[in-house]
Structure 1
Amino acid sequence: MGRFEEIKVGDSATFTKTVSETDIVLFAGITGDLNPVHIDEGFASKTIFQKRIAHGMLSAGFISTVLGTKLPGPGTIYLSQTLSFRAPVFIGDSITARVEVIEKLPEKQRLRLKTECFNQEGKLITTGEALVMFKE
């Protein structure tokens, strides 16, 4: 993104990824979260969702991608994140993570950001707020 001084309240950036079967299996393996709602079609078919859903933290991870690669960009240190999961993510959904600067804290080069994820239909999946430290 550039220098801290160049970042403005209202600046935003996005990242989009289509969630695959492989993404869910790898995330389960990496984290150890083998909840059958994520990995067992038979189990998931009996839930409110009627099919497997992705881990909530997988879509939240896309927010981290935006922070570390786009806004503010490389060198960003993630300090905190609030999350509210509003809707499920299914295999084949294209999720767009969006971050927007809502406050600059120049004394420590920190930013407060609105964080959201939407599916391909524009439905809000995840919402929250992040605090990051930006080092150039």
Structure 2
Amino acid sequence: MSETRDGWAGTIKGRPTMGQAAERSRTTSMKDIIAFTEMTGDRNPVHYDQALAEKTAFGKLIVQGGVTTGILNAVVAEDLPGPGTVFLGVEWKFVKAVGVDETITGRVEVAEVRADKPICKLLTEVRDSQGNVCLTGTATTYTMPLQGL
């Protein structure tokens, strides 16, 4: 008879539980757009040209999608599952664009947890300050054991 190994041994926060959730909020800014452009080269005019952006379906300057999803990186790496966690895969749908100077809240909820490996499936979403969903989907994560390194 084989013993079941606890794949979460050595992870900083331990094994998450089904239904456990965490969230973070932040306000976007033009600095986010500039920093993201410096990292990626994304100079889409809907991020920089106010007059043009106001004529689009968005009606305003918007931040890059990577700025919107970035809040989920922070929740996953800092809160749930926590330090040492990386994304293995994501399925995200952008539902509503996020504008400059908008407060967004990223939320993750544990949908599945493997016992043998530190892998989770998370329900993910980003909402604006009015509670409108801007992004929705799922993410699969792996949490590296960091204790004892």
TM-score clears 0.5:
yes
Q: CA deviation at 1:80?
A: 0.6
Match of 1:2 in 2: 13
The SS at the match of 2:18 is coil
Q: Which residue of 65, 73, 96 corresponds with 2:82?
A: 73
Q: Percent identity?
A: 36
Q: CA RMSD in A?
A: 1.2
The SS at the match of 2:23 is strand
Structure (1/2) with the larger helix percentage: 1
Distance in 2, matches of 1:122 and 1:88, equals 13
The SS at the match of 2:19 is coil
| 1:74-124 Cα distance to aligned partner (Å, 9 max, x none) | 111211111100011111110000000000112222000000000000000
Distance in 2, matches of 1:8 and 1:103, equals 8
The SS at the match of 2:55 is coil
Distance in 1, matches of 2:75 and 2:54, equals 33
Match of 1:25 in 2: 34
Match of 1:58 in 2: 67
Aligned residues: 134
Q: CA deviation at 1:39?
A: 1.2
- Consecutive unaligned residues of structure 1, counting only runs of 5 or more, are none
- Consecutive unaligned residues of structure 2, counting only runs of 5 or more, are 1-11
The SS at the match of 2:80 is coil
The SS at the match of 1:108 is coil
Q: Which residue of 114, 120, 139 corresponds with 1:111?
A: 120
Question: Contact 1:109 / 1:133 at 8 angstroms: preserved in 2?
Answer: yes
Q: CA deviation at 1:42?
A: 2.2
Q: CA deviation at 1:28?
A: 1.8
Distance in 2, matches of 1:15 and 1:57, equals 16
Match of 1:14 in 2: 23
Runs of 4+ with deviation above 6 angstroms: none
Q: CA deviation at 1:17?
A: 0.6
Distance in 2, matches of 1:102 and 1:128, equals 12
Match of 1:91 in 2: 100
Name the TM-score, length of structure 2 as normaliser.
Answer: 0.85
Structure with the greater alpha carbon radius of gyration: 2
Q: Which residue of 114, 127, 134 corresponds with 2:136?
A: 127
